Structure 1
Amino acid sequence: MKCYLQNLCLFAFLACGMTATVSATEIDFENDIFPILDDNCLFCHGEDEQESGLRLDRRGFMLRGGDSGLAAIVPGHPEKSYLVDAISHVDEDMAMPPDEDKIADEDIELITRWIKEGAIWPGQMDDVAEEEIDHWAFLPRQTEFDHHTIDGFVHAKLSEAGLSFSRPADPRSLIRRVSIILTGLAPTPERTFDFIAAFNEDADSAYEQLVDELLASPHFGERWAQHWLDVIRWAETNGSESNLYRKNAWMYRDYVVRSFNEDKPYDEFIREQIAGDITGHGDATGFLVAGPHVPAATVGQEPTAIRQARADRMDEVLQTVGASMMGVTIGCARCHNHKFDPISINDYYSMTAAFQDVEFGSRFPELGADHPRTLRAAQLRDELKTLREQMRSKGWAWVEDWTGYEEVHFPTKTIDELRIHFDGRWVMLDELEIFESTGEQRNVLAEDMGTVITDNPTTHVPNQPPKNLNDGVFGTKGWRGVSKKGNKETPWLEFAFAAPFDIGMIRLSSNREDFLETDYLEGMNQSKYGDFKLEIRDADGDWKPFASTSAMKKRSSENEERQALQSQIQETIAALLIEGPQPAFLGQFVPPVETYVLARGSPESPRDQVFAAAPKRLNGNLDVEPNAPGPQRRKAFAEWLVASDNPLTARVMTNRMWHHIFGSGIVPTPSDFGRAGAPPTHPELLDWLTSQFIDSGWSMKSIIRQIVLSRAFRQSSTPDQDGLAKDGSAQLLWRFPPRRVEAEVIRDSVLQASGRLDSTIGGPSYRIHNVKKRYAQWEVIDNHSDETWRRMLYQERMRRVDDRIFTAFDFPDCGQIRAKRPVSTTPLQALNLMNSDFVVTQAQLLADRAESESGPSIEDQINRCFELLLCRRPSQTELTASVEFAQTQSIELLCRTLINTNEFAFLP
């Protein structure tokens, strides 16, 4: 037996030695590998032709890979090498060569061994195949210039084309133009007449004073916030099948308005939107989740669907960041290397790693001590505390409605047991908290406090037990108690505390998830537990009530004082829910998971792991540890964006300002500075103005002021035959390019003319839609009553919903990035401006205002209508025709006609 074993071991040893000898045979690249590539691959992937951008005749190109972004070879790792997958026909969609020409198995094995052993290619081991970046947008900014004013650059271009500036605009056109561009509101007739008088005495001084006045107006922030919200696709619904409302998403809109009004440095604006949760500006992170998304309930429970939905949400984040701040189409690199720009698929997923902790949802924003909401909340909570103390001093209990949950307050009880006895026969709770009234005011029902919860065994529901009441999970997966047929008992809950506690408040809810995430659903925030009694044991050990919610809600002459205090408490809570920190759709933050390159964008095909970085070719090293926490990654990415050597960020915003002032950017494609975008019309001017922007401390108002004070901006918009022939779109700015104003400018200016514009800044959006079922569609039910007479910026912004008036004027639906709104001309526009309920109502109010301010004379009323809408008086011909029209029709119909004129709807 021993001899047999010895022989067996010897045989195994010799066999291993033989195998080692075979595998140790070195592969000769020229004789073993190159002939396989030459026969099967290089015709389509060689020097003369590279299908799918893949070149296999040089080692450097193999390491880089083709358009897929996956390395053809990864030395030492054939399992990570795209070439091995392709020639092995792992996936028929990427099989190369096709089935009938598949490489022989022994050749595949030889290539696999060659890669595993280091992919030795004599003479090319140091070969690097990197394309040079030669596109202007990715190169450093120019620093030496031939001119040092906007007009110097513009005039030079005009001279090259044989053109020159037009004459200056008349003062009435100028004040209308600059007022609308800076504030989105036409000037009042009184301000117009004052300006014209001052302009005729000292044009430059009067105009500079006007510009400074408009830049200081709180309406400046409203106007420029709208531009930013267009770019990032901000809306108040998620855009999916359910299209649910996003809880308090308007808080982000208000942050943008406030930032532009304060002239917050743009670099700080970027930092806060990407990492405001760690800088005391938690309301700024609504930027990250501004795009559409599919909520979890719609995605379902299928793991592949969940992974795909998560990848889609990450893509929405990158689209927002890429288009708005970087001016590049990041999403093009999701499935393969970018076709035009130096962004690889590795870059794309490295950027997702930088935002891996971002999730779509609501949270309480992190706000600094000096934040307006923090200060207002402190004031309101002090008022609430005083009112509560008055209630307790009287020995009263009361109920507070916090919309998504209720709180029952009562004078302090020192107890070790408590019972909640419900009046109804069917009860549902998702979470319940019992708070101490002294000390740290702990939740004594928290899981780690040792409280034992039991329910009525006769109403117990097995699959929804009492332990669900303190698991911290909100929604429909909670506790239920049901009185079955024939059972006269109603549900109750008993709590046995680990020790006696001083308690004074109970908080309970049926579906707090909805409260945190959404709003305006039928049946939402309605309690599914009804009234109940709070009971403690008496001296005999029997349960006796000490408070009843039904009794708290009853009104009687005996409790008028309590009811008055109750009303004041509820009013204070209502103010706190609007003016203080509240759960809002500003994004949630989750522990970041490992990030992998997804072959062809599929979550089911993960490849190499990557770590947080910006595009490699743009010096994208973020200098953070691979396992750095999410906020640190995002902060580092923001710092990369605003770094002095980043060629994109400041250029992109400078161009946006130019675009919103002249109607077209120096780069006509403001969110695509790549090769697929349009080239700049004035590249030197763009770099000079960008340098001015950075040197100003990233002050937007400084650059906007500089642009609108230029001769290029102040010139007339009157056409000229020579100019039209040489530069029909006026891109060279031989005149100010006239254009139709946006939908919100038309609407807001009508309201201002009628004298009914509510100029309140910020707060919840005004409602024009219904309260709907979860999967129903939003319907417009009121888009014209006095409750809607605020600026259109504050109108509920729902995706996939036509507001039935101004959507016709190219108001975006926020499903796609709108860096540049289209301008269409359709019959529906004229019909809406003539016959919609909004215009009919406002025209009547205009007519009433004209009569009130001008008296009974029809001529005087017509003069006033022209002033209010067009900031001028009618010519004699216009007045004669208008009088005849008003006598046969009405002043109200004349107002509707004036609203439909090009003079009202176009920038002069």
Structure 2
Amino acid sequence: MNRNHLFALTTLIALSLATDSRAADIDFENDVVPILEEHCWHCHGEDEQESGLRLDMRPKMLRGGDSGLPAVVPGKPDKSYLIECVNHVDEEMAMPPDEDKIPAEQIDVLVRWIKEGANWPGQMDLVDEEETDHWSFQKVVRPDVPGDGSNSNPVDAFLRERLAQENLDFSPAAKPRPLIRRVSILLTGLLPTDQETSDFLTAYEADCEAAYAQLVDRLLASPHFGERWAQHWLDVIRWAETNGSEANLYRKNAWIYRDYVTRAFNEDKPYDQFVREQIAGDTMGAGEATGFLVAGPHVPAATVGREPTAIRQARADRMDEIMQTVGASMMGVTIGCARCHNHKFDPISISDYYSMTGVFQGVEFGSRFPEFSDDHPRKQRGKELWQQIAQQRWALRRTGGWEENWGAYREVHFAPKLTKSMRIRFKMHNVGLDELEVFGPDKKDVNLAHSRTGTEVSSNSPDGVDGRYPVGRLIDGEFGTMTWRVSFDKDKKERAWVQLDFSQPQNINRLRMSSNREYFYDTDYLTKKPYLPRYEFDVDVLEEDGSWKPWTGTWSVNKDLNKKHPQRKQALTRIQSAIDLLAEEGPRPSFVGRFVRPDVTRVMHRGSPENLRDEVAPAGPAIFGGDLGLDSDAPGPSRRAAFARWLSKADNPLTSRVMANRIWHHLFGTGIVPTTSDFGTAGAMPSHPELLDWLAAEFIQPTVIKDANPWSTKTMIRLLVMSDAFRQSGKPTKEGMLADAGGSLLWRFPPKRVEAEVIRDSILLASNSLDPSVGGRSYRIHNEKKTYAQWEVVNNHGPQTWRRMLYQERMRRVDDRIFTAFDFPDCGQVRAKRPVSTTPLQALNLMNSDFVLEQSKLIAARATQDSGGDETKSIDRCFELLLGRQPADDERTACLELAKANDLSLVCRALINTNEFAFLP
């Protein structure tokens, strides 16, 4: 409720209570019922409940309607939405509308009735508890495996039972050549090499079961397994390396989260731990994992501007992005639908929504140094470099102060000094600072100047240029465009000064200044990068006798001392070198979210931050038992850790179901629940509900594969790809098409076009150009740009791009001019399941793009070299490299004619354009 509405309602209620303070108690039957019957029950009664609101039962009144606000709060008419509506405080929600407004004296009766406790004879003990019988909201119970045990794999038993109801069975087993191609692509995203295929065919002929099992185990152990399955996860959470706003700024070092996901799948990190780390990894030595929380798009402060209402709205929008990410990926529930009102389909209220935002109130989109465990490689390398920096600092300390350039800020070191106040007198006529930090030798990482420590700041220009840049921004802990900016006439003597008054005397020895630290930490690739000046200033400190004494100055640090002690130059060079290495090899500021002190969370009526209502505690949805036992005083890390534990518990009805279904979807093309990120009432029903629950239970506690770990993704994948269902042929049959044309019953392996990444990576693999290295910075295909310019593709095919497409810079709202045509996601929306389109542009890109032209020549050259220049053998070799087989006689003849009329690279381009290359066998 905004302030005007609140004032109006409070005034009306106060006048009503004052007028009737001596009136008799309200009689419900005689005083209240006639009012409700005349004005309310025809729209909000037994037969009809507009906006989900029912007013003919007290428990329904207390719950309220779709707005999520209780219509009646006994004893509190000012908190009762019913009174606000009948008073027409907000004309958009005026009830009854227009000229049908309830007379003032009747409203007074309702106010007094609520004030007296909303007594309703016969209904005082009734409670309207939220209940649901929706299948996915029920506890996971492992069903019995059907049949007589003749199926070695329980998955087949469930599927065959359902197929038998339609007089169907599995198709014959797939041939070994298409089988290795299928399982290799689905597990690693890469085609098998011709040598791998040859070895498998030989082993398969000797012992098909053992050969296939060994193949699956090898693929699961491949470092490329994590790359393939990381891409699936990144699709769901909309991960990208730009923010997607008008400026679409780069997210510096966001790739560190991508590498975390790849490692997690390669290491087979238990999924429950995977969930906990992504929500609260900063408390678990896996700080990079919280990149999950800020994976969605957002509008940065520079674009939002300085209007307070716009700032509050943007913050609410960022919280909603987190809700969408958590809801779609881990919970399989459309939480965001409850942002403005109770969920239309599922038992999730607006209070549930804002309780969940309360969990993440301490998260902000931006960068920080990730928290690493002691054995993390970056942490260990960082220790080595910090030791080198400390040694050089010790040497410099004997000669006085010095300055270090950390890219984001300049840090000036001085001899320690105990003081209650300090004053910085700038020598430049223009000064721009987003933050001024002060540190001491005792608590080296504590900013003694931060306003929350009780420090106060003052200046001879407290409001800055044009009164728009208040000096208080210097100590608010916020980096970026919200700066203190001053300007003095360069021809006059007066210059800016800043005074810091500490709450108690502090021992200080460092100053840290920056002009726009957010740009350095969060973005890059700008043609006009933030200017980090070498600030020139003198520092005075307050002595115990109340006098100000000159302490030091940057002129002395940067000029006099270096001239007086020439040996300082070598130490300064070594420090700067170590700083540069630390930024590259050690813990680095990365776009994995930054943490702020969480505010009290309130329900936003109709989703507006200008209409705040009741306070809510951090919690999950009530229907799932989401009470975390926390209140608004709980620290941010504690909130997220408690929520993560609740979400990853084995008895949570959604977590295991959603992930088991997601794994199934990526292997069979469609989930048992086709709407893989919506398990709610509006989502699709499962095609095999018992099988899904069995898989969810098996995921939590494996029983089929001996000694398997709980929550093991690789164990679940192995179970599914070892099934007869997975290994059957994909060829259609007349009986199957008549009974189940969509193939949801899995009477054959469903046909599926491979993703853009598989097409591109397979072409590179065929030409022997693919760089197989795992992890690290993304390769660039884009330009540097001005802040509000657009990204442009400048090189999407050169040798520096010959890594897996997972490592291509992932920019929102940018067409990569080749593979976006193959439904590569924009990352603006959740892509739990990629669409599959067929367009002329796909064929044109695979025939005429610079990438394909270049790679086709390389494949042709490789085939020619491998075959000793023999044209026929070169054709055969091209088939082996791209399709994994030898050509038929008519294919060989046609390709020879094409190669002689043109060149061998055109044959390669033709093969790349075949369905056989682009579809799973």
> Does TM, scored on the shorter chain, surpass 0.5?
yes
Residue 830 (1) aligns with residue 861 (2): no
Cα separation, partners in 2 of 1:450 and 1:267, compared to 1, 3 Å: closer
Q: Which amino acid aligns with 1:624?
A: L
**Structure 2 Cα separation of the partners of residues 684 and 442 of structure 1:** 55
Task: Name 2:69's counterpart in structure 1.
Answer: 70
Task: Name 1:172's counterpart in structure 2.
Answer: 177
Q: Which amino acid aligns with 1:196?
A: L
Task: Name 2:853's counterpart in structure 1.
Answer: 840
Q: Secondary structure at the match of 2:43?
A: helix
Task: Name 2:762's counterpart in structure 1.
Answer: 749
Alignment partner of 1:662 out of 663, 668, 684: 668
Q: CA deviation at 1:378?
A: 2.2
Cα separation, partners in 2 of 1:397 and 1:809, compared to 1, 3 Å: farther
Q: Which amino acid aligns with 1:811?
A: F
Q: Deviations over 1:276-310 (max 9, x none)?
A: 11121111111111111111222222222222222
Q: Which amino acid aligns with 2:110?
A: I
Q: Which amino acid aligns with 2:315?
A: R
**Structure 2 Cα separation of the partners of residues 645 and 359 of structure 1:** 30
Residue 674 (1) aligns with residue 680 (2): yes
Task: Name 1:145's counterpart in structure 2.
Answer: 144
Q: Percent identity?
A: 60
Q: CA deviation at 1:607?
A: 2.1
Alignment partner of 1:587 out of 593, 600, 612: 593
Q: CA deviation at 1:686?
A: 0.5
Kept in 2, the 8 Å contact 1:468–1:479? The answer is no
Residue 262 (1) aligns with residue 267 (2): yes
Stretch moving more, 180-189 or 523-532: 523-532
Task: Name 1:274's counterpart in structure 2.
Answer: 279
Cα separation, partners in 2 of 1:212 and 1:787, compared to 1, 3 Å: same
Task: Name 2:349's counterpart in structure 1.
Answer: 344
Residue 403 (1) aligns with residue 407 (2): yes
Q: Secondary structure at the match of 1:597?
A: strand
Q: CA deviation at 1:415?
A: 10
Alignment partner of 2:889 out of 876, 883, 902: 876
Q: Secondary structure at the match of 1:609?
A: strand
**Structure 2 Cα separation of the partners of residues 493 and 339 of structure 1:** 55
Kept in 1, the 8 Å contact 2:396–2:568? The answer is no
Residue 41 (1) aligns with residue 36 (2): no
Q: Secondary structure at the match of 2:327?
A: helix
Cα separation, partners in 2 of 1:545 and 1:530, compared to 1, 3 Å: closer
Q: Deviations over 1:799-845 (max 9, x none)?
A: 11111111111111111111111000011111111111111111122
Q: Which amino acid aligns with 1:578?
A: E
Stretch moving more, 293-302 or 823-832: 293-302
Stretch moving more, 703-712 or 766-775: 766-775
Q: Deviations over 1:830-880 (max 9, x none)?
A: 111111111111112212222232222122222221111111121221111
The alignment of Structure 1 onto Structure 2 pairs a total of residues equal to: 872
Alignment partner of 1:720 out of 733, 750, 753: 733
Kept in 1, the 8 Å contact 2:257–2:291? The answer is yes
Q: Secondary structure at the match of 1:608?
A: strand
Alignment partner of 1:777 out of 790, 794, 797: 790
Task: Name 2:902's counterpart in structure 1.
Answer: 889
Q: Which amino acid aligns with 2:407?
A: T
Q: CA deviation at 1:490?
A: 12
Q: Deviations over 1:582-603 (max 9, x none)?
A: 1111112222222222222222
Kept in 2, the 8 Å contact 1:155–1:164? The answer is yes
Cα separation, partners in 2 of 1:734 and 1:567, compared to 1, 3 Å: farther
Q: Secondary structure at the match of 2:326?
A: helix
Kept in 2, the 8 Å contact 1:613–1:637? The answer is yes
Task: Name 1:860's counterpart in structure 2.
Answer: 873
Counting only pairs closer than 5 Å after superposition, residues 357-372 of structure 1 correspond to structure 2 as 357-372=362-377
Q: CA deviation at 1:562?
A: 11
**Structure 2 Cα separation of the partners of residues 31 and 469 of structure 1:** 64
Q: Deviations over 1:51-81 (max 9, x none)?
A: 2221122112111222222222111111111
Cα separation, partners in 2 of 1:568 and 1:718, compared to 1, 3 Å: farther
Q: Which amino acid aligns with 1:42?
A: W
Alignment partner of 2:692 out of 672, 686, 692: 686
Task: Name 2:7's counterpart in structure 1.
Answer: none
Cα separation, partners in 2 of 1:442 and 1:731, compared to 1, 3 Å: closer
Task: Name 1:95's counterpart in structure 2.
Answer: 94
Task: Name 1:633's counterpart in structure 2.
Answer: 639
Q: Deviations over 1:436-482 (max 9, x none)?
A: 9x99879999689999999999xx99988999888866446357677
Counting only pairs closer than 5 Å after superposition, residues 535-546 of structure 1 correspond to structure 2 as none
Residue 82 (1) aligns with residue 88 (2): no
Kept in 2, the 8 Å contact 1:230–1:817? The answer is yes
Counting only pairs closer than 5 Å after superposition, residues 472-551 of structure 1 correspond to structure 2 as 474-475=479-480, 477-478=483-484, 484=490, 509-529=514-534
Q: Deviations over 1:643-683 (max 9, x none)?
A: 23211111000000000110100100000001111100110
Kept in 1, the 8 Å contact 2:770–2:802? The answer is yes
Task: Name 1:576's counterpart in structure 2.
Answer: 582
After TM superposition, the score normalised by the length of structure 1 is 0.87
Cα separation, partners in 2 of 1:490 and 1:51, compared to 1, 3 Å: closer
Q: Secondary structure at the match of 2:602?
A: strand
**Structure 1 Cα separation of the partners of residues 428 and 600 of structure 2:** 49
Cα separation, partners in 2 of 1:57 and 1:585, compared to 1, 3 Å: same
Q: Secondary structure at the match of 1:227?
A: helix
Alignment partner of 1:651 out of 642, 654, 657: 657
Task: Name 2:240's counterpart in structure 1.
Answer: 235
Q: Secondary structure at the match of 1:239?
A: coil
Cα separation, partners in 2 of 1:178 and 1:470, compared to 1, 3 Å: same
Q: CA deviation at 1:510?
A: 3.9
Alignment partner of 1:215 out of 209, 216, 220: 220
> Unaligned stretches of 5+ in structure 2?
1-16, 147-152, 540-550, 703-709
Task: Name 2:548's counterpart in structure 1.
Answer: none
**Structure 1 Cα separation of the partners of residues 215 and 911 of structure 2:** 26
Alignment partner of 2:629 out of 599, 602, 623: 623
Q: Which amino acid aligns with 1:883?
A: L
**Structure 1 Cα separation of the partners of residues 397 and 84 of structure 2:** 77
Cα separation, partners in 2 of 1:637 and 1:199, compared to 1, 3 Å: same
Superposition RMSD on alpha carbons, in Å? 4.1
Q: Secondary structure at the match of 1:108?
A: helix
The structure with more radius of gyration: 1
**Structure 2 Cα separation of the partners of residues 603 and 450 of structure 1:** 29
> Unaligned stretches of 5+ in structure 1?
1-17, 535-540, 554-558
Alignment partner of 2:289 out of 284, 291, 295: 284
Q: CA deviation at 1:884?
A: 0.9
Stretch moving more, 604-613 or 570-579: 570-579
After TM superposition, the score normalised by the length of structure 2 is 0.86
Kept in 1, the 8 Å contact 2:438–2:508? The answer is no
Stretch moving more, 680-689 or 515-524: 515-524
Kept in 2, the 8 Å contact 1:469–1:479? The answer is no
Cα separation, partners in 2 of 1:867 and 1:353, compared to 1, 3 Å: same
Q: Which amino acid aligns with 1:66?
A: G
Task: Name 1:28's counterpart in structure 2.
Answer: 27
Cα separation, partners in 2 of 1:209 and 1:461, compared to 1, 3 Å: same
Kept in 2, the 8 Å contact 1:288–1:317? The answer is yes
Task: Name 1:3's counterpart in structure 2.
Answer: none
Task: Name 1:709's counterpart in structure 2.
Answer: 722
Task: Name 1:328's counterpart in structure 2.
Answer: 333
Task: Name 2:748's counterpart in structure 1.
Answer: 735
Stretch moving more, 804-813 or 36-45: 36-45
Task: Name 1:117's counterpart in structure 2.
Answer: 116
Task: Name 1:15's counterpart in structure 2.
Answer: none
**Structure 2 Cα separation of the partners of residues 465 and 107 of structure 1:** 51
**Structure 2 Cα separation of the partners of residues 602 and 502 of structure 1:** 44
Residue 302 (1) aligns with residue 307 (2): yes
Q: Secondary structure at the match of 1:846?
A: helix
Kept in 2, the 8 Å contact 1:465–1:480? The answer is no
Q: CA deviation at 1:566?
A: 8.3
